[in-house]
Structure 1
């Protein structure tokens, strides 16, 4: 366009080159451009017009300066220069914010200096406010620059109208359809300008609204007393601090941008074009952890039980939302048709503690091995008609107000009576001898990775409904009290015992005789939840009932099947023991009677013959 203006004698050559430039516009990579299809098609049509105007070789310099050159100069030297300057200012504000956030992240966990903390918090708030203001300052110029269509079409309109007005042949060259096209382009440019003005006005109103807010909204963790946590998230994004080991005992923290994509946790370093995979979240576990030098930390554990990465969130709210989001993703509910509804349903199910319901399990016909062990003898009677199943009330299963134990330290019934005398059997405590020789000779040995959710005392073990009710109350209590920590163990199922083993030290945390397990069941909706009821003797002569709830990496039905198989092995061993004992008794009687054969013969030969035939009988 500068050549058209500066060299009227070269008008033909200049217009020809201009036509080529218009055709090549679609190959330009304009950073702020979006939705250019209509602009490109319009410029292609203008290219044809310029080819027709190539026969005209004169133009008034004044109109070229006013209608064609001036808008381009303003766009290039004013708008783009302003955006470049504001971009540099925004970069400086972002750098100051990063430095202040680094200071805030390094605040000590204990014995904080309140004065230093207040200064750093104030510095973070000021940096955020400055960054926020600079981002708004760049919005309006950026919006002006994003409309490169206006900067291109307005000069072309001036060029075309100049040719029509100042040449007598213009009326013959341009048809009525061309006039209509130019009018439509002018209307489009005007409509774009109106839309931009409306958007700019909305942005200015939003800016004024944000400026009127209290500066506390820029303070990190300003709602620490009662944060509004969204527990139904199936995707999450934001900045986290990643812990990296730099030596045997030394660690460093790096602030990176993390986001979830399907079942993957992605990380995008600053300046990178795209993110990379950090952790596969399917079937993994997440829990809050205590770090010596940082707050609001959580750890992601792989499905095989191996400790994964440790991340630090900015606030308590962010920490809990990240934990909830990763926990929801690990259940693979993002693969369902409506993952948001499934997440809401699971969390609402956990929050129904204040209004007890009859049961979690509504599918009584499930083929799962979860069963009532006491009623197994009823299976032999196939003639008795099925009576109507009555589901007991929650109060009949678990006493109201029963405390829940969230860590493997003591059995839940220990909290019911503090005045019990004598030495009590404690299944939760590290055993003095961590080895179990009988496990080597066991007919069954199966290992499962589980996480302890909670245990509580129950009133009955006559139905599996007590397990479902305990699951409901344990999950509800964890959700209400924001308890995310879970103790991970290896559950060893043998034909004699159930053992919980520490995966790190291989020390047995708990040991239950399989004969004391009276009920076991898996959750009907959440397949990874499993629980069992244990009957333990007390020093007072009575018995206590406790339900233990776990979350497994595998399906809970597999654990129930293993327990059921162990109980069947015990029953077979009992029958075998009775048969062996009867055979030994038979041999003893035969030997005893043989020694007294002479005496029995003197008393009567028929007595000896009768006893001998009795011992030789198959059914004896």
Structure 2
């Protein structure tokens, strides 16, 4: 047992000798060093507990992400099974097959470990951190306060003693000496009491030194032992066998997957080496020895690849690269970011495909259409690629091959070589009713179609489809409609598109059919404008319009049906120009319509104000009294002026010029001034009797 060898004697505290002061100074320095060490030791203990708290947080986050994997909609992981996410730890299946189920079981084990750490942290905080912090916060603070009181009491006792000793030794100072003696007694007693408490605290600290670090470490070891005991119970014999079985199965599965990965990597490396040995794949033109080794088949009906399309502008021409493929008698084109291909050209029997030379470019060919007259220029990647495209297009144009092509496409299995994105939509549930013809959407009255329209901006568009939506607002409604329409067209092989002229003005959005020249003279069969007029959507019925987020050529707008409550239809179109320009045109048209409506309401409001002012002015003029005196020339002139003002006011109100509204107010002011002048003149004209009386009064005064 440890014995404390050094301590302060309470008997010496009242004497306050230099030796006692020296011993107190030693004890104070020891207490200061002990306090500093205690704070450092407490900080290290706090770090241990913070590490366990961080472990709890980390294990909980790990468990969360292990369960979150099964909730993710990974498109390439069909093994996700939400039913396995709620499996209990003790009810582990014998053969977990999916990755999500295995991760859920690991999450359950991690939760058990996190629980053990939580209990461990609670015990550390109660048995190790709290007592140590209490010792530092209470005992050392109390010792510091006693030290200050000890110094203050010592100074006060010394000052009172010196005051007592300075009193003269005469009889008249006896009373003062008695009072000073009593004061000296009180301060000396106070100093003695404070010194004994201070010495006692310093001595007690020496005893606390012996166990203040032992108790926290004992608590730490006991908590750690209990933590290991809980872990042992968690992985007991009964549960350990299940855990071992689960870990062995998982380990064997991982080894099997790694073996398959290694085998696949070997095959992949061999295939890469084999492909890289053929240098001819990297040349645009093959060598003469291999160029004619494989003749082009005359019976092939399918081909896909990138081609450059020539677009003619007023001064320059541009070549745009797109992906083209043949499907159901149509030449389809698709951008890299498009979700599906769209029809570019119908392969009719009147088409001819021939090589050509244009813009000094290589590997070019052209497609000529007789009805209507049209020439399309393409650029292939090589001579053989151009010849293949020409041969395959000629095969697809032939009438006897069109039926074979449609039959082939109906039984064609989607694979990686298929250029369309129909696999993206396969396996999806059937969507809502989608309409692909614009004529069947509208019940038009002849009077509505014959309304005269103002000239507006015109755009070439192709109608893709329409379907009902839940609301007339929201960009997500238009994007979802575009996706549904493109999916339905790809699923049902509908590639024929109706082309329209879309005219936007401040009243409506109108659609006119583009005439199809099928006769020999190339004239349209639709000679009447009413036959070309297809649909009109008033701007107040169009609730929302937007372009597609990914494809700049697709856009749509939502129309409200006034005849039926809460029925909204979204119409989807495709344009050669950017759809953003069409949406901007509709926005400008709506702004112009709103401005015209505001101007119309303002003009009607001004007319009402003008009419009201006219009525008030005429009422005021007619209510003026007639003050005509006999023999008064001025009143006659005023009456003439009044009549002129009335005639001028009537003339002003009969004029359609709004600037006369200001003149009306001036007339009112002038008329009021004339009335005031009339009253003043009436009051200022003296009678004859009054003048005679004034003369007599002046004579008598003289």
Q: Normalising by structure 2, what TM-score? A: 0.29
Say which structure, 1 or 2, has more relative contact order (CA 8 Å, 6+ apart): 1
- Higher helix proportion, which one? 2
Q: Normalising by structure 1, what TM-score? A: 0.33
